[in-house]
Structures are given as structure tokens and as C-alpha cells.
Homo-oligomer: A and B are copies of this chain.
Amino acid sequence: MKKTVIDFLLLDNKQLNKDNFQLTLQSPLPVSDIFPGQFINVEIKEATEIFLRRPFSILDVDYEKQTIALLVKILGRGSKKLTEARPGQTISAIFPLGKSFTLPDQNDRVLLIGGGSGVAPMLFLSKICGLKPENVTVLIGARSASDHIDVTAYQSYGQFYYTTEDGSLGEKGYVTNHPVFTEKLNQYTKIYTCGPDLMMKAIGRKAIDTNIFCEVSLENMMACGFGVCLCCVEDTKTGHKCVCTDGPVFNVNDLKW
């Protein structure tokens, strides 16, 4: 699909928990070939002193209805403002951006690890990867039970496990403390992850050590999102790469982790 500046129509804005909202956007153009890891760069309208767009991963796509969904976590002024948008409002975004995760092969057993808003591309991937549910494990970490979002709609695509820092849901600790990660990692042929840098680094290093295919989705600060400003670079083994166009998905082996 060609990159376009699109005026989406906000169909729905649902609060999932304290800080997380799910936005459903209607596209005036057909949405096609959208895959997990890709993102959209959203204009934050009528906000004092917000100048640049804000990037958000695609959480889901409905090709027929021509809608896309976003998971927006309140982090600062822009994300806050976006969660205050009302259905009926238009939202300008540049779309689609970035490269997606490498879809698994039929024989793969995959582990998807999401933390914070990084859960969005993981859910999308669980749905779209085409594997039998028993070959898809989704591990989601959050601070506390109340920070976890409801993933019922995706439950049929794989086995879901949770961690919380306070033990209020699933295993206590970080995702990297979960038995799936500490004990059963060798059962997986591919690991995919998106979330806080420290989490992804811990996962990535383990994948490198254990020689498992691993792709991570980075969230470097962006100005443009389509490869012209060169602000979002990650220092890879082959030099500075743009997270917005060469990524956001990278194979950990290409990174200097």
C-alpha cells in the first residue's frame, strides 16, 4: 500500500483500563497489506505545543470494513490528548509506515512477548500469523493486574500467559522471570517482542545466547516516520538504520545488543 496522509474517521474510542484506550479508525481508502509491526503517525490536533505527529502501532485491521485499530497508552501530552478524541472526529495520520515482523513458517512454534503498549503488535501477530493456537504462545507483562488489558478477543489464537510486578495477575515479576521464558524457551523456533527497551534487550540477548530467531520492534523517537529526517536511527552492526523505514522490526542479530 502506498504511504498516504489520510483523514481517518474515529469510529470508536474505548477505555480499556486506567491508561489504555483502543481507538477504531475508519479509512476512506482501502487498507491492504497491513502487517504486524507496521505503524501510523498521528497528528495530535488542537493541542498546545505539540508540534510533531505521534507514532502508534497497528493493533488490528479489518480489510473489509476498511478500519484499523490502535492501542494508545497515556504516556504524555500527545497520547493523553489522543485518548480524549471523540467518535465522529477526523484524525489525520500518515499510513502505513514501517516494515512488519517476518511472518512465521507453518512449522514454527512462536513466542510473542509484549510489554506495555508493545502488546499491540503482538496481538495483531497472534491473530494473523496463521499458526495453530497450540504453536502460538503469548506472554504479556505489566505492572499490575489493573494495567493488563482484556485480550479475550485474541484468546483463541494462542496460549496466553501473564506477569505482573506485584503478582496480582499471573507470574510475579517481569516477563523474563516467567517459566515460559526461563524454562521452556528452547521449545520455540521464533521469538517476537515489543515493549520497553530494557525488556526487549533482556529477551534479545537471551535469544542471541540461545541462538533462537528473534525479532524486536523498536520505538525510537521519530520526527517524520517515513525516512527523511534520519532522527530515529538505531546503531546496528551495519551502521545507523532508520527505525521508521528499515524497522521498526529488527532481527536481534543485526543490533548491537
Majority SS of interface residues in chain A?
A: loop
Q: How far is the CA of A46 from the CA of B45 in the complex (A)?
A: 9
Q: Mark A19-49, 1 if CB is under 8 A from B, else 0.
A: 0000000000000000000000000011110
Interface size on A, residues (CB 8 A): 5
Can you tell how many copies of this chain the complex includes?
2
- Chain B residues whose C-beta falls within 8 Å of the C-beta of A45 in the assembled complex: 48
- Determine how close the nearest CB of chain B comes to the CB of A84; give it in whole angstroms: 9
- Chain B residues whose C-beta falls within 8 Å of the C-beta of A47 in the assembled complex: 46, 48
Q: Mark A63-86, 1 if CB is under 8 A from B, else 0.
A: 000000000000000000100000
6 intermolecular pairs with C-beta atoms under 8 Å apart: A45-B48, A46-B46, A46-B47, A46-B48, A46-B81, A47-B48
Q: Which residues 202-246 of A have a CB within 8 angstroms of B?
A: none
- Determine how close the nearest CB of chain B comes to the CB of A202; give it in whole angstroms: 39
Q: Mark A48-59, 1 if CB is under 8 A from B, else 0.
A: 100000000000
- Determine how close the nearest CB of chain B comes to the CB of A53; give it in whole angstroms: 13
- Determine how close the nearest CB of chain B comes to the CB of A136; give it in whole angstroms: 43
- Chain B residues whose C-beta falls within 8 Å of the C-beta of A81 in the assembled complex: 46
Closest to A50 in B: B48
Closest to A47 in B: B46
- Determine how close the nearest CB of chain B comes to the CB of A1; give it in whole angstroms: 29
- Chain B residues whose C-beta falls within 8 Å of the C-beta of A48 in the assembled complex: 45-48
Q: How far is the CA of A248 from the CA of B81 in the complex (A)?
A: 38
